[in-house]
Structure 1
Amino acid sequence: METIIVKADQRLDRIDKYLADLLQDSRSTIQVMIKEEYILVNDEVVKTNYKVKEGDVITIEPMEEEEIDVTPENLPLEIVYQDDDVIVVNKSDDMVVHPGAGNYSGTMVNALLYHIPDFKAIKGEIRPGIVHRIDKETSGLLMVAKTPKALEHLSKQLQEKTVTRTYVALVDGVIPHNLGRIDAPIGRDPKNRQKMAVVEHGKPAVTNFNVVQRFAAHTLIECHLETGRTHQIRVHMNYINFPIVGDPKYGLRKTDTTHGQFLHAKTLGFIHPVTNEYMEFTSELPEYFTAFLEELE
């Protein structure tokens, strides 16, 4: 871990610009590190527009991933929609979104580079056009930008919480109430940096859910996100003691499943970055998900 103490004779700028100039690193990489809490100021999470002050102690944790060359690969990929600016992909439950430590190939980005001739990776970037992510074991819809303008526009919609995102999840336990709202801040688990947790000084996180169906020992729910923190639904449902079935990281008990957690990004809606028209897409549950529900019935 690297520690930087801000001095009076330094230019007191936004933290992303301050560190990009100081470390000779790309501003986009610094922004990702800030958002994913690898960079803290005075042991607290800050936003990318935080203005540094004299005496601030900035700690930088090395990122888990490396900058690598992203190569096109002929992998199965379900493209729900695409035009000159945006792509909507229905991701399978066994595909990582972008290359990183331990996953240098076989990712959605590798597949996009092969299937979309005009989808170009930015040199040195491992997340070209990726507006948001869903976990490897989570299936469903996500949007990808094909131009810098689209990336900026869609990212702003996420920040302003205007993107429609509905997930379907199967949880352990029978939830007694029909509606729920979980408002609990999420940050990196101080005991395990590979996990997220509900922590006092985390970023605001809100998950709303409604019960779709109850089984003998499980509940099928729909989740509506107001924020988009890493592992948000998984962390929040575990926090209220109804963890996602098959979740290898946050589950309270192991479930014999070969498909990771039963979590599916069903609905995705956003304003098109060029036409300004609202677009909404829906994805049906994967076969393994529906088959497991039939077994529970």
Structure 2
Amino acid sequence: MKSLKPFQLTYTAHESVILREALNGWGISKRTLASVKYGGGTILVNGEEVTVRHVLGIGDAVTVIFPIEELGAGLQAEAGPLDIVYEDEALLIVDKPALQNTIPSREHPEGSLANLVAGHFAANKIPATLHIATRLDRDTSGLVCIAKNRHIHHMLSMQQKDKRMKRQYEAFAHGIFESQRFTITEPIGRKGTSIIEREVRCDGQFAETEVEVLHQFPEFSHVKLQLNTGRTHQIRVHLAHIGHPLLGDDLYGGKRDILARQALHCRILELVHPVSGNPLRFEAPLKADMASLVYVNR
């Protein structure tokens, strides 16, 4: 795999500036730059290797050749089904099934999405590792965004911070909602008695979820949710906090008599491509178990 062509990007200088400053302006983080300098990468200006102290001229072509990253020692590549929605040299978008970990855990060391993505890269001789930009809980299904190298992951993280990446979910929650559209703005932090559970607490991190009720059934409601922040268990905690836990989410008060897993699905993912700058939009329909709740109860 090391003999394969590594990922690289080329930029054009539009002003006379020190290379280090230009790289920062193009979104190359200090950590990424260090990995290029000391991890086997190269920086070329008009085809010649230079240091970051080099002064660029207008029109100079700057090529950053990123080092090929190795998979972490604890992640084993596995063959298995992978529902690929989109893939190019920088990004991989997949539709994750329910009851699959995004990354391996002590309870589920094999069969995670990360294991299968690593297997996909190995089988297709793709010189990349994986950096998961949008992780989903084991029970949650839907779209997951994966960067193929550290720099792309950094660029996606900046999009999330600037709210240019948008994730829209659909869920089924217990009870009947009084309002059709509303926003939950409540801080979320770790519950003191648990290493897993989160709760709304005054010393937590700012968290905001937009809610739209799509349809109300006698015992539960079909809702659409827009995440404006990305806190752990955010949707689950916010809905439970207002008295409407997700169906199947027994960790936060939901019952499993209707659905045997938390009824949450990441349906739409919108982002700006970190290389081309083009807007991207992906959609994954509800899985059969959640979709059946709509058709059976109408």
TM-score norm. by structure 2 comes to: 0.72
Could you say which residue in structure 1 is the equivalent of 2:187? 185
Kept after mapping to 1: 8 A contact 2:83/2:94: yes
Q: Structure 2: which amino acid aligns with 1:81? A: Y
Contact 1:75 1:111 in 2 (8 A): yes
Is residue 118 of structure 1 aligned with residue 126 of structure 2? Answer: yes
Q: 2:229 aligns to what?
A: 227
Q: CA shift at 1:171, angstroms? A: 0.4
Corresponding position of 1:206: 208
Aligned counterpart in structure 1 of residue 109 of structure 2, from 88, 93, 104: 104
Segments ≥4 residues shifted beyond 3 Å: none
Instruction: Spell out the pairing of 1:1-297 with structure 2 (5 A cutoff).
Output: 69-116=74-121, 117-118=125-126, 120-121=128-129, 128-258=130-260, 260-297=261-298
**Structure whose CA Rg is larger:** 2
Q: Deviations over 1:128-157 (max 9, x none)?
A: 311121111000001000122211100111
Change (3 A) 1:223 1:202: same
Say which SS state the counterpart of residue 235 (structure 1) adopts.
helix
State the AA in 2 paired with 1:89.
Answer: V
Q: Helix, strand or coil for the counterpart of 1:193?
A: coil
Return the offset for 1:110.
0.6
Gaps (5+ residues) in structure 1?
Answer: 1-26, 29-66, 122-127
Deviation of 1:68 (Å) = 5.0
User: What runs of 5+ residues in structure 2 fail to find an aligned partner?
Assistant: 1-30, 33-71
Asked whether the equivalents of residues 247 and 258 of structure 2 are also in contact (C-alpha less than 8 Å), the reply is no
Contact 1:78/1:89, CA 8 A, preserved across alignment: yes
Q: Is the 8 A contact 1:271 1:278 kept in 2?
A: yes
The DSSP-based 3-state class of the residue aligned with 1:192 is coil
Q: CA 1:119 to 1:257, structure 2 compared with 1: closer, same or farther past 3 Å?
A: farther
Quote the offset at 1:105 in angstroms.
Answer: 1.1
Q: CA offsets per residue over residues 24-57 of structure 1, 9 Å max, x none?
A: xxx99xxxxxxxxxxxxxxxxxxxxxxxxxxxxx
TM-score of the two chains, using structure 1 as the length reference: 0.73
Aligned-residue offset at 1:82:
0.3
Q: 1:113·1:119 contact (CA, 8 Å) conserved in 2?
A: no
1:229 to partner: Cα distance: 0.3
2:66 corresponding residue in structure 1: none
Task: Provide the aligned C-alpha RMSD in A.
Answer: 1.7
Identity fraction in percent: 30
Contact 1:112–1:119 under 8 Å retained in 2: no
CA distances 1:37-96 after superposition (whole Å, capped 9, x unpaired): xxxxxxxxxxxxxxxxxxxxxxxxxxxxxx852111112110000000001010001210
